[in-house]
Amino acid sequence: MEEVDNIILHSLRSIGCEIDEDVVSLKEFNTEAIVACSVRCIKTIHGDVDLPNTLPSAMSAKFRMGTSLANHLQELGYRGDVGYQTFLYSSEADIRKIFMFLVDKLPKEVVETTEEILGSSVLLQRNIANTLSRQLSSPWVPSSLKHKGIAWRGKPPTWQREGTCCSFHFHSCNVSAPEGSGDLSKKIPKALKSYYQTNLPFITCQTQDYNDIVPSVLEKNAADVTAQMEWENEWNQSGLASRLSQQEYRDRKRQRILKRITDQLRQDRQRSEATSGSGSSQDLQQMLASMGGRGTGSAKTKGSRFTHSEKLLFAKDDDKAISEVTTVLPAGQTEEEKQKEREEEVNGLKDELTSLTSRLDDLDLEVKKFTASIQQMEEQISNQNRSNSEKEDGYKVKKRTLDLLPDAENNIAKLQSVVDSSAQRLINLASQWEKHRAPLINQFRDLKELSSKTESEAQLKLEEIKEFRKKMKQVQDDARGKEELAKQLHSEYERMTKDVNRSAYTKRIMEIVTNIKKQKMEIDKVLVDTRAVQKEINQLSGKLDRQFTVTDELIFRDAKKDESVKKAYRYLASLHESCELLINTVEETGVILREIRELEDQIESEGHKKVLANLEKISKDYQQIKKENDTLIKKIKGKS
Amino acid sequence: MELSQSILDGLTLAGETSHIPDKCFSVLVTRAFDGILDERHKQLIAKDPSFRSLDQAVVKEAYYSMVALVSEASKHDLDINSISSVLEECKYTNERIDVFNKVFTSKKPLMQILLSSVGTSPPHIVDVNWRLDYYIKNNHMERVNEAVYLIELKTEVPGTSETKDVQFSCTQEQLQDLVGKLKDACKCLEKISQM
Amino acid sequence: MLLMFDDKHKNHLSFLTDIDISVLQEFCKISIEFIKKGANTKVYQSAAQKLGVSAETVQNGVEGLMYLLTESSKLMINEIDFQDSILTLGFSEEMRQALLELYLDRRKEVRAILNQMSMELPHYHNLEWRFDVELASRSLRHQVTPTVTMKLHTEENGTTSTQVLQTDPTNLVHLTSVLEEALQEIKSPYCRRIVRNIK
């Protein structure tokens, strides 16, 4: 009962009913409190209900209010007998029921407003609303009193921007800082190290404009991070597949890029030479050669030397361009003769050039002709040599046969045996070769299999590595997301109101449920027992009846003849009657005991209803109404 | 927040007692903040006596990583826990983490003010002056007899310390129109602030 | 107050005293057109031919009439003064009536045209506003900075120019309250007294 009262009081307090602090149970509610709270409840449920908040003093008004409250309650769906008397002359049990009903109707509206979806957009809106209300309510300060356009306001001083006099653009310059100065495994060249120690200024002094420091630092970090990520991506995809170490992969990449640049430059140089006709690009050639030479040199720290040579290259190009431009400038504006001279010179030189080139072409042609004829001659010579050697061989064979002809038969036999023996030798050698060849071929096959296996294994391992990296990234992302979620939920949890101890209530409810289950079991047991006892009683009474009829008949038959048997029969009859009487009285006692219990219960419940107090109240109110009626009648009579 | 490997290396360097002793560490942290926030202090790190005994390249690298960490952390508005986890990854002892956190929390609003000053905006209205004239006549007409307001809006332009003025005139109806529109704006703001 | 006419003016107008009412009304219309759009010489020619006088006389007459109208509109003289002023010119009763009607009808138009000639300051035309909240920028993430951006349209001599301005909530509230005060100022008793007394 206390918990129910607690819950009711708590909900009533939360909707705004004014209840004294030391009111702990519904017993202590007086009529005014009851009326006020129920009016409050009805107003919260319905909205605008035309009821005064407190109980008026006039009796008739009280009566009217009571009936209207009862009507409202019935409209809301309260099943039960309710009239003005339930509010004005109340009993505890009735009030408890009514308040439980009202409070039950309440929470659905109240709870909905406190249950908000705390998503990030709502959080953002709340943030914006808070900042805005803070700024709207802060007093205005003239701009001369604000330092750099910032005003500090509030208890934990927070800043807000109210002027843009000190804004500046995001402008970043190149800044540098030492790298690896504490890492003993990396070797920094001495010159670089001394530069780091003595000449390199601190990072905050490296930019010309002081405002650029933070943007430059942020940009440098962003560039480095992007370069790192790009390198990781590239390494994951093509670097691992190439199966070189990191350093070798980088070297190979650098060489490829250098080669492409030299090729491109060479092509451009040739193209530019063809169009302009000027020849001297000695410097460029030198640079290209030296670049190609340097590229195959030892590995250096990536980037710096490469950019250095690139810069030099383009510097030379610029120089060449500048020199070309300066020679083309028309300088002879002062004297036309000089210009004519120069023109003549130029023309003469041009003619020489054309003649020289034509001669060069002719000579080229001749050289080509000669080389062609040389080739022809060489072919003829080789043909001749071949035919010579063939003829020599043929001559030798014929000479031999001629020598051997006189001793023909012997020689033929000898030759035959020589042929046989050489054929035998061939067969021997072939078999030996086979013997050698077979194991070697097996070895070759084995090694091939081994290498292909290792290749496939390496392939598998590479794929596994890729998988692992992917998983790592996924897990990292998941972890990040979960951390954010945890933060959000944590902040939500801290913000939720904890004034109603839900876990205690739930525990209590579970206890009550188990209790009820136990009680139900016990009731069932008792019922079973009762039924068993009832069955026994029935059995026994049935047995008794049968026994009695049997004995009765038995003795009655014999009673006609014998006196003692008649006496016995009479005794039997009286025994039976008295036992029946006993049984009846026992039953009646049981019935009366039950009635006593019921009456006691009724007395208790009637006692709770405070009938006496209410009766007094009613009689008092009745007297009051009578008095009011009399006064009203007097007034009417007085007026008329 | 992502920090490049060189910055992380520098931070680890700054956390090692062999390179930066404990006394110098707190000075390094405060100098990093001062160097960014105040132009007059940007040279202080170079002249600071407590660093003279150490290897200057190490000091410069540590200083750079501090500056970068501070800027990135303020930019992303990190709380103490995230920064502590970053520093723990760089193998910092708990005392150094506490020293850093204390200075960071006290100077973070100033850093964020500095970062919020980066950017451009249209001229920002800070004040308004008005003047009410009664227009009687001009050289073409007499008996004009109208009330004329001259409004001057004082605006701050990013980059200049002087206010730039925007002047215009209005009749009473025009001023009512203007005030009506401004009141609409104020009401809209109040409605949003109460949501 | 009365208009003072110099002799040249009187000479020009004396031509008009001898003509019919209807012709006078024609001349009135022509002079109004002159004030609105400028001189129309063809009309002068045709009128001169009809009336049998030189075109110059016609022009003088029209210009005189126009000058009469502009001066009286400029000074905003009332009916009685106008009538007294033109008494001296020698018009007949009905002509004077016609001239008075003309004056009273066209007074506002003429004043509006005269107004265009006077000096003009750039005046307010329109104000558009919008409310933004800056949530992040390149150099600072996670901020909540409310701003109100406004476009002020001002007009000067027919050309409108716009200016984009910005303010924050505190300054906006201050701005609104100051301008409201300014608006209230015109209803104060002091201003009302001045308006009443300067007529």
Asked if the structure places residue C18 within a domain, the reply is yes
Report whether A507 contacts A513 (CB < 8 A).
Answer: no
Is the Cβ pair A140, C138 closer than 8 Å?
no
Q: What is residue A116's predicted lDDT score, i.e. its pLDDT?
A: 53
Name the residue type at position B33: F
Instruction: Tell me how close the Cα of B75 comes to any Cα of chain C, in angstroms.
Output: 4
- B6 vs A200: CB contact, 8 Å cut-off? no
Q: C-contacting residues of A 160-189, CB under 8 Å?
A: 160-162, 164, 170
What's the pLDDT band for A326 if we cut at 50, 70, 90?
very low
Q: Are the Cβ atoms of B179 and C180 closer than 8 angstroms?
A: yes
CB-CB contact of B20 with B28 (8 Å)? yes
Per-residue pLDDT tens digits for A57-74: 777 788 888 888 888 888
What's the rounded Cα separation, in Å, for the pair A432 and A597?
124
Q: Same domain, yes or no, for C34 and C75?
A: yes
CB B61 within 8 A of CB A182: yes
Mean of the pLDDT values across residues A317-328? 48
Mark whether C31 and C107 lie in a shared domain: yes
Contact B132, B149 (CB under 8 A): yes
C24 plus C111 within the same structural domain: yes
Candidate from A124, A128, A161 with C-beta closest to C168: A161
Q: Does C60 share its domain with C155?
A: no
Give me the percent of chain B exceeding a pLDDT of 90: 30
What DSSP designation does B150 have?
Answer: E
Q: Please, which residues have CB within 8 angstroms of residue A402's CB and are 6 or more apart in sequence?
A: none
The domain segmentation of chain A, as residue ranges, is 2-106, 338-396, 404-496, 504-609
Collect all residues of chain C within an 8 Å Cβ-Cβ radius of residue A138.
Answer: 170
Residue A310 in this model has a pLDDT that exceeds 70: no
C49-59 burial string, b = 16+ CB within 10 Å, else e? eebeeeeebbb
Residues A334 and A326: their CA atoms lie apart, in Å, by: 17
> What residue has token string 């009832």?
A534
Residues C16, C70, single domain; the answer is: yes
Is residue B143 pLDDT above 90, yes or no?
no
CA A551/CA A63 separation, integer angstroms: 75
Question: How far from chain centre, in Å, is Cα B191?
Answer: 28
Q: Which residue has tokens 């081994």?
A: A450
> In this complex, do C183 and B176 lie within 8 Å of one another by their Cβ atoms?
yes
What's the whole-number mean pLDDT along residues C138-161?
90
Please name the residue of chain B whose CA is at the shortest distance from the CA of residue C149. B122
* Position B21 confidence tier, pLDDT thresholds 50, 70, 90: confident
Flag if A181 and B75 touch (Cβ within 8 Å). no
One domain for residues C102 and C148: no
Structure tokens, A507: 């525990």
The helix/strand/coil state of C170 is helix
Helical spans, DSSP H, in A235-303: 240-242, 246-276, 282-295
- Domain termination site, one of C77, C95, C117: C117
CA distance B145 to chain A (A): 35
Same domain for C108 and C142: no
pLDDT value for A107: 56
Residues C54, C147, single domain; the answer is no
The token duo for A59 is 């009796």
When comparing pLDDT for C151 and B55, which is higher? C151
Longest dimension (CA), chain B: 90
More confident residue, A306 or B19: B19
Cα A49 to Cα A52, A83, A365, distances in angstroms: 9, 18, 119
Whether C1 is covered by a domain: the verdict is no
Contacts of A431 by beta carbon, 8 Å cutoff, 6+ apart: none
pLDDT at A313: 55
Percent of chain A past pLDDT 70, that is, above it, reads 88
Give dist(CA A351, CA A296) in Å, integer.
Answer: 44
Please answer yes or no on whether C165 and B143 come within 8 Å at the CB atom: no
Residue type, A488: Q
Structure tokens at B188: 């809209």
Q: What share of chain A is helix, strand, coil (3-state, %, to 5)?
A: 80, 0, 20
DSSP, collapsed to helix, strand or coil, labels residue C162 as strand
Handedness of CA A84, A87, A91, A97 (dihedral sign): positive
Q: What is the domain range of residue C131?
A: 123-198
Task: Of A224-233, A275-284, A612-621, B59-68, give the lowest mean pLDDT range.
Answer: A275-284
Chain B contact partners (≥3 CB pairs within 8 A):
A, C
**B165: nearest Cα among A487, C45, C165, A126:** C165
Is the per-residue pLDDT at A264 higher than 80?
yes
Please list the residues that pair with C165 across neighbouring strands: C150
Residue A529: pLDDT over 90: yes
Note the Cα A502 to chain centre separation in Å.
Answer: 30
**Which pLDDT score is estimated for A634?**
93
pLDDT of the residue at B130 = 93
A451 contacts: CB under 8 Å, gap ≥ 6: none
CA distance B51 to chain C (A): 31
Q: Report chain C residues whose CB lies below 8 A from the CB of B118.
A: 137-140
- Tell me the count of A-B CB pairs closer than 8 A: 167
Strands (E), chain B: 124-135, 146-156, 163-170
A525 CB within 8 Å of a chain C CB: no
For residue C174, what is the nearest residue in chain B, using CA coordinates? B127
Are C12 and C93 in a shared domain? yes
Give the range with max mean pLDDT: A568-572, A612-616, C67-71. Answer: A568-572
Distances (CA, A) of A12 to A5, A51, A100, A188, B96: 10, 18, 11, 78, 54
Going by pLDDT thresholds of 50, 70 and 90, the confidence category of residue A331 is very low
Residue C20 maps to a domain: yes
Least confident of A218-227, B9-18, B54-63, C52-61: C52-61
Q: What's the CA gap between A92 and A100, in Å, rounded?
A: 12
Q: Are B28 and B66 in contact (CB under 8 A)?
A: yes
What is the pLDDT at residue A586?
93
How distant is the alpha carbon of residue A628 from its chain centre?
Answer: 75
A 10 A CB-CB count for A361 gives 10
What DSSP character marks residue A238? I
Sorting pLDDT into bands at 50, 70 and 90, what band is A438?
very high
* Residue in chain B nearest A158 by alpha carbon: B109
**pLDDT, tens digit, for every residue of C23-54?**
777 777 777 777 777 777 777 787 778 777 77
For residues B135 and B150, is the Cβ–Cβ distance under 8 A? Answer: no
pLDDT level of residue A314 (50, 70, 90 thresholds):
low
CB contact under 8 A, B127 and A177: no
For residue A298, the model assigns a pLDDT of: 42
Task: Express each pLDDT in C63-110 by its tens digit.
Answer: 777 888 888 888 888 888 888 877 777 777 877 888 888 888 888 888
Helix axes A2-14, A502-559, angle to 10 degrees: 150
Q: What CATH topology corresponds to A2-106?
A: Actin-binding Protein, T-fimbrin; domain 1 (1.10.418)
**Are C104 and C176 members of one domain?**
no
A166-181 pLDDT, tens digit per residue, is 888 888 888 888 887 7
CB neighbours of residue B153 within 10 Å: 23
pLDDT at B17: 81
By the 8 A CB rule, do A69 and A42 touch? yes
| Alpha carbons A613 and A609: distance in angstroms, whole number | 9
Q: Does position B140 have pLDDT exceeding 50, yes or no?
A: yes
Residue C2 lies in a domain: no
Decide if A95 contacts A35 (C-beta within 8 A): no
**DSSP annotation string for chain B:** ----HHHHHHHHHHH-TTTS-HHHHHHHHHHHHHHHH-GGGTTHHHH-GGGTTS-HHHHHHHHHHHHHHHHHHHHTT--HHHHHHHHHHTT--HHHHHHHHHHHHHHHHHHHHHHHTBS--SPEEEEEEEEEEEE---SS-S---EEEEEEEEEEEPTT-SSEEEEEEEE-HHHHHHHHHHHHHHHHHHHHHHT-
Query: What pLDDT, on a 0 to 100 scale, did the predictor assign at position A535?
Result: 96
**Does C144 reach chain A within 8 Å, measured CB to CB?**
yes
Block residue for tokens 């057109």: C33
- Whole-number Å distance between alpha carbons of C14 and C65: 11
Nearest to B145 among C142, C145, C198 (CB): C198
The pLDDT, as a whole number, for residue A292 is: 61
C111 and C133 inside one domain: no
Burial of A49 (0-12, 13-18, 19+ CB in 10 A): middle
Closest CA of chain C from A230, distance in Å: 22
| Cα A448 off chain centre by | 49
Q: Which residue among C90, C117, C144 closes a domain?
A: C117
How far A151 CA sits from the closest chain C CA (Å)?
10
Query: What residue type is A635 in one-letter code?
Result: K
Residue type, B29: V
Rounded CA separation B165/A511 (Å): 77
How many domains in chain C?
Answer: 2
C87, C117, C147 — which closes off a domain? C117
Distance from CA of C52 to the nearest CA of B (A): 36
- Residue A293: its pLDDT value, please? 57
With bands split at pLDDT 50, 70 and 90, how would you rate the model's confidence at A330? Answer: very low
Q: Does B29 touch chain A (CB under 8 A)?
A: no
Structure tokens at B19: 């390179």
For A283, the token pair is 């410097």
Distance CA C186, CA B171 (A): 11
Instruction: List helix spans (H) across A106-186.
Output: 107-114, 120-137
Residues 6+ apart with CB under 8 A from B78: B1
**CB A136 to CB C139 under 8 A?**
no
The most confident of B34-38, C22-26, C108-112, by mean pLDDT? B34-38
Say whether both C84 and C69 belong to one domain: yes
**Cross-chain CB nearest to A196 (options B16, B57, B115):** B57
